Structure 1
Amino acid sequence: MSDTVLHATDADFDQLVLQSDVPVLVDFWAPWCGPCRMIAPALDQLASEYAGKAKVVKIDVDQNPRTAMQYKVRSIPMLLVFKGGQIHGQQIGAVGKAQLAQLLDKAL
């Protein structure tokens, strides 16, 4: 696991994501989700490549149901890009690293 990918909880989501001064790609995931595990290496790479320009944050929907409900997460992986505390982009389902990078680039 890359130490550049941050792990949010219901308690620190606002601070890590909504109050961030750079765009944040949030991965709503669960350990039992195959497609979630499939995109994890791409997220690790993006976290390193975008260090200083954007953040990558993962939030386990089973451990943090309040945040998952707040953003109406119905299927995972669900990826949201936040900029200035607002949702700036969305991707549902596993996609390649290039598509995730595109999502982040739009917010930069």
Structure 2
Amino acid sequence: MFGEIRYRLGGMLILLVGVVMAWVAVWQPLHQSELGAATVTWMPRIVVLIAVCTVFGLYLLVTGNRYPYRDAERQSLTTAGWILFSITALTALAGFFWMDATLKSLGYS
């Protein structure tokens, strides 16, 4: 019981870290572009970390690691792990292309 609560609290902490990174890496550059800054700097690699924090934070918050994502003995991913990996990869790609397209549509290259 207490182990599940630890996983859920860890999921909330991971989500909080993801929100802070999204604030700095996504919202701030978009806000600068709305204010008409001459150049906007954003961090594409951080978008991947935001996706990881979002997917795994939600997973741990919702399930409490009821379905393990890794097999420690065989040192491999379980089916749940592969699903989480796929969702993370798709989320990271979508976030990257969305941010890139948004900034290009606002006139930044």
Whether the TM-score (by the shorter chain) exceeds 0.5 is: no
RCO higher in structure (CA 8 A, sep ≥6):
1
TM-score, normalised to structure 2's length? 0.28
Q: Which has the higher helix share?
A: 2
**Structure whose CA Rg is larger:** 2
Q: Which has the higher strand share?
A: 1
